[in-house]
Amino acid sequence: MRILSVALFLACATPALAEILVPARTIRPKEIIGAQDLVPKSADVPGAVSHPDEVVGQEARVALYPGRPIRFSDVGPPAIVDRNDVVPLIFTYGGLTIMTEGRAMGRGATGEIIRVMNLSSRSTVTGRIRPDGSIEVH
């Protein structure tokens, strides 16, 4: 019985290697990740990406180097608004809707909050990026 429990302990104490994904090449920030950019690797890295569907089509937020694990914080949805883009600003309150143009002071993806300069008043406002690239002012 004692030999069985020691063997069981040793089997459980050995770290199990899992398949993770690593870049096949250097991926620069702002690049969109494709399936051809990824290769599997056996390693035990908590929080590393393990399935291609989790990163293919996403944008690299930082430089990703070959052989190094990709973490979820390293990637995100592709930006649809770039810094200095002229974007529609939309403010809605009840039945009132005001639309004007603004200049993006940052870049971001759908749902992210960025600062925008109202081109009419030259004031800076914050708003959420909508799927069509317009900014919904808070």
pLDDT of residue 123: 95
4: pLDDT confidence band, cut at 50, 70 and 90? very low
The residue with greater pLDDT, 42 or 9, is: 42
Do residues 120 and 103 lie in contact, with contact meaning Cβ atoms separated by under 8 Å? no
* Domain parsing of the chain, residue ranges: 17-76, 86-137
**Has this prediction a pTM greater than 0.75?**
no
pLDDT of residue 18: 73
**76 Cβ contact partners less than 8 Å away, ≥ 6 residues apart:** 58, 59, 61, 109
Q: Which CATH architecture has domain 86-137?
A: Roll (2.30)
* Tokens describing residue 119: 């081109």
Q: Which CATH architecture has domain 17-76?
A: Alpha-Beta Complex (3.90)
